[in-house]
Amino acid sequence: MDYKEEDYLQLSGIQHFLFCRRQWALIHLEQQWVENVHTIDGMLMHERAHDPDAAVRRGDLLSVRALKVHSAKLGLSGECDVVEFHRTLDGIELAKREGLWLPYPVEYKKGKPKQGSEDAAQLCAQAMCLEEMLCCDIAEGALFYGENRRREVVAFTSSLRELVRDTVREMHTLFERGYTPKVKPTKACNACSLKELCVPKLLKQQSVSGYLRKEMEGEAE
């Protein structure tokens, strides 16, 4: 089933959703956003990648910045930081360009590579949008990390594609229900830009003090 355009969700929400479902809901359902040093760094890096002087050609490589993408199958829309088009025999035709070109999405991230698969899933979703829009197959793309200034190649395997489909399906379900999951503090909270808003520590303290109060009440009985 294809989604209607008005039901498309933001593609970038995949990384939030896989990091923490509550963070995704606060940002995408409740529209809350707290800027901290992490998000500002990330935005500056994205602004550099999103310089609208857009298409640059160097030989058999054409780079396009801030390319808007969407998928009716996934019900997503968003923007790719950079899509490189590599000139190759098994590529696709592009308007006003000679030869055949294969798209290769590149996503810029602040910091260093993460343990989780959220960045790879976001990139894979971009590739799946490009495949649907351009009728082609994209085998891989790359994540560029600001901290070590290195590119990591990401293969768009069937299991990564399945993760994207499952995640997006769940995002649509929560969005339709308008449901914000409850706080479950984890190590990820330390790096979360919404922690002041979400107050996991406070809730933790409440539960500890509640626990102590209960213990004391138990002793008094």
Q: Establish how many alpha carbons lie within 13 A of residue 216's alpha carbon, considering only the half-sphere containing its beta carbon.
A: 6
Q: Does 14 bind ligand SF4 (CB under 6 A)?
A: no
> H-helix or E-strand containing 169?
helix 158-177
Secondary structure tally for the chain: helices H, strands E: 7, 7
Tokens describing residue 6: 């008005």
Of 154 and 198, which CB lies nearer to ligand SF4 in the complex structure? 198
Minimum distance, C-beta of residue 71 to ligand SF4, in the bound complex (Å): 26
Site size toward ligand SF4 (CB under 6 A) is 13
Residue type present at position 14: I
Q: Which of 12, 23, 122, 126 binds ligand SF4 (CB under 6 A)?
A: 23
DSSP 3-state helix, strand, coil percentages of the chain (rounded to 5)? 45, 25, 30
Q: Does 195 bind ligand SF4 (CB under 6 A)?
A: yes
Q: How many residues does the chain have?
A: 221
Q: Does 20 bind ligand SF4 (CB under 6 A)?
A: yes
CA pair distance 178, 213, nearest whole angstrom:
35
Whole-Å CA distances, 209 to 166, 202, 205, 212: 38, 10, 6, 5
Of 126 and 193, which CB lies nearer to ligand SF4 in the complex structure? 193
Q: Does 121 bind ligand SF4 (CB under 6 A)?
A: no
Q: Does 174 bind ligand SF4 (CB under 6 A)?
A: no
Q: Does 198 bind ligand SF4 (CB under 6 A)?
A: yes
Minimum distance, C-beta of residue 30 to ligand SF4, in the bound complex (Å): 11
Contact stretch for ligand SF4 (CB under 6 A) within 37-45, 92-100, 106-114, 180-188: 180-188
Binding residues for ligand SF4, rule: CB under 6 A, are: 20, 22-23, 26, 183, 185, 188-189, 192, 194-195, 198, 200
